[in-house]
Amino acid sequence: MNVSSKPDLSSAIAMNWGPTDVDVLVIERRKILRDHLVQAVEEARLARSVQSFPKPEEAIVAAPAAPDGKPLILLNSDQSGDGVAAEIGALRRAYGDHALIIALCRESDAEAFAAAVAAGAPAVAPDHIGLDVLVSVMRLVLAGGTYAPSTALVALASQPASPAWGALALAPSPAGAPADIIPTLTRRQRDVLEALCRGKPNKVIAHELNLCESTVKVHLRSIMRMTRARSRTHLVAMLGSQLAAIPRTR
């Protein structure tokens, strides 16, 4: 799981949100997936109630006049860009600006990820996310944190800051560093970095590149030292969007 910021524990304590305060809404057009999501939330005991809808419009119609809890909305959107932003905006108007929205988008749709964050979603994730990871993301969001996978961070790094992501560290690398550093990487270092930017864990990278997992870690530590990246996600945010634009030199 790629956690983009640590929960603000003091804020979580101050808000004192527990299962008795949270109302979860699952919006997923496919019934079988909708049922699986509802079951996962219920088994995790994250909320006092769980409702499900096939479309955002139906969830909006069902919104109470004065919500008395903390709405947490799982939105699996098949929209992109402005469409995602419009859905999130309509849901926040119906359930209040305090509603927490986790937007699930197609992994290849960078525009949808960026639009969701700009519209105020504190978490974005690919629509194929595992249920156990999704439950962890929900807990993180309820504690005041934000979440995005590596693939989304590449797109988000070039977007204007969103209030929901005030604590997210997407600081650029030192002046000129991406252009200076990427061409100096060895072939294997670049292979490892490119795989990391696609959201792959060390074990998968090692298997695909026929390397030992320890060798993958050595390559990543070396790149992080050169870029002064604070974490893997910070490294992706710093260099991911430049990789395709800068040709290999060796």
In angstroms, what CA-CA distances link 151 with 60, 127, 137, 139, 245? Answer: 30, 13, 16, 21, 16
Judged by average pLDDT, the poorest of 88-92, 153-157, 236-240 is: 153-157
d(CA 94, CA 61): 8
pLDDT band per the 50, 70, 90 thresholds, residue 89: very high
> What confidence score (pLDDT) does residue 52 get?
96
The better pLDDT of the pair 19, 130 is held by 130
Q: Tell me phi and psi for residue 4, to 5 degrees.
A: -85, -20
CA distance 99 to 156: 21
Q: How confident is the model over 168-179, as a mean pLDDT?
A: 43
Q: What is the DSSP string of 196-234?
A: HHTT--HHHHHHHHT--HHHHHHHHHHHHHHHT-SSHHH
Cα 97 to Cα 15, 121, 134, 163, distances in angstroms: 15, 10, 22, 12
- Summarised one tens digit per residue, pLDDT across range 196-214 is 877 788 888 999 999 999 9
Per-residue pLDDT band at 9 (split at 50, 70, 90): very low
Q: Do 126 and 151 touch, CB atoms closer than 8 A?
A: yes
> Is 4's pLDDT higher than 60?
no
Confidence of residue 226 (pLDDT cuts 50, 70, 90): confident
| Structural element, H or E, at residue 73 | strand 70-76
Q: Which residues of 111-138 are buried (b: 16+ CB within 10 A; e: fewer)?
A: bbbbbbbbbbbbbbbbbebeeeebbbbb
pLDDT of residue 159: 54
